[in-house]
Amino acid sequence: MKLRRSMLFVPASNAAMVSNSFIYDTDSIMFDLEDSVALREKDSARLILFNALQHPLYQDKEVVVRVNSLDSAFGVDDVNAVVAAGVDVIRLAKTDSAQDVIDMEAVIEHAEQAYGRPVGSTKLLAAIESALGITNAKEIAFASKRLIGIALGAEDYVRNLKTNRSADGIELLFARCSIIQAARAAGIQCFDTVYSDANNEAGFIHEAELIKQLGFDGKSLINPRQIDILHNIYAPTLKEVDHAQAVIAAATEAEEKGLGVASLNGKMVDAPIIERARLTLERAVSGIREEL
């Protein structure tokens, strides 16, 4: 499963940001055609992405595009343009039900057939942003084989709850846990919402540590300064890396000897431990966290 700790939002209408965002060491770039693009620039932003996605600069980067709702005047054209351009993942905003995912899947499949893309090659990410969506999280998570994950969109969600975001995020706890439970049950990834105050580094760190501990695979970001901070929080310590390497070595040795079960320092090494060791080593690619 691909490492997706960081997904950096980039407004697709901003030529300079689209031209430069490939330089950031984020796991995925998430271009936005929805809320950050003014109505009169929807056509222009779509064409920027249609051309940028085919540019060599973006061939080695996973690109996610948040498209407009299929109910709007822009949604179907957005999907057609980005599928024709070879987008990796389409982010479906404001997902309230499994039917929303199924409807989007049908439009994507039609576009893949129309523009010569392999059917099934475009993946989906469903963002849940309402109480109804959270209530239907399990059905949403199981709605399509294209789904790489589900994500929380907190701003609309807290508005729907008739509350607001707080420093400790207590109002999001149920939604976060619901999304994690649904995603893990379906065997897909889960992603936390953005931290909107780009200048509050301490607040961002607090939230990132919380969502990592809850079990999220990663988080949407709105500022490139948040990338290294988030990757450092997800990075394992040297001790964890050493242990993970020992686990993999023990598992490999047991497999070569035809043993059903491996052991390390007298403890059984079974599939969940091996899987966790692999994830630890994947997360170490961007560095080792210093122990304080």
Partner 1 sequence: MKIHQSAVAGTFESSDLFVEVEPQPQFSLSVTSSATQFRDAVETQVRNILTKLHIENGQWRVTDSGALDCIIAARVETAALRGAELSALNWEEM
Contact residues: partner 1, CB under 8 A: 15-16, 18-20, 43-44, 46-48, 50-52, 54-55, 57, 77, 80-81, 84-85, 114-116
Residue closer to partner 1, measured from CB, 116 or 258: 116
Integer Cα distance of 217 and 212 in angstroms: 7
Residue closer to partner 1, measured from CB, 56 or 260: 56
Integer Cα distance of 280 and 118 in angstroms: 33
Angle between helices 98-114 and 75-84 (to 10 degrees): 50
CB of 80 to partner 1, least distance (A): 6
Angle between helices 42-52 and 75-84 (to 10 degrees): 20
Both tokens assigned to 285: 């690619």
Both tokens assigned to 224: 């490139």
Residue labelled with tokens 């997706």: 4
Integer Cα distance of 71 and 94 in angstroms: 11
CB of 41 to partner 1, least distance (A): 9
CB of 14 to partner 1, least distance (A): 9
Cβ–Cβ < 8 Å for 228, 279: no
Residue closer to partner 1, measured from CB, 50 or 216: 50
CB of 262 to partner 1, least distance (A): 50
CB of 11 to partner 1, least distance (A): 13
Nearest to 157 by CA among 176, 191, 130, 137: 130
CB of 85 to partner 1, least distance (A): 8
Residue closer to partner 1, measured from CB, 112 or 240: 112
Residue closer to partner 1, measured from CB, 47 or 106: 47
Residue closer to partner 1, measured from CB, 52 or 247: 52
Integer Cα distance of 262 and 41 in angstroms: 58
Residue labelled with tokens 């901003």: 14
Longest dimension (CA), the chain: 65
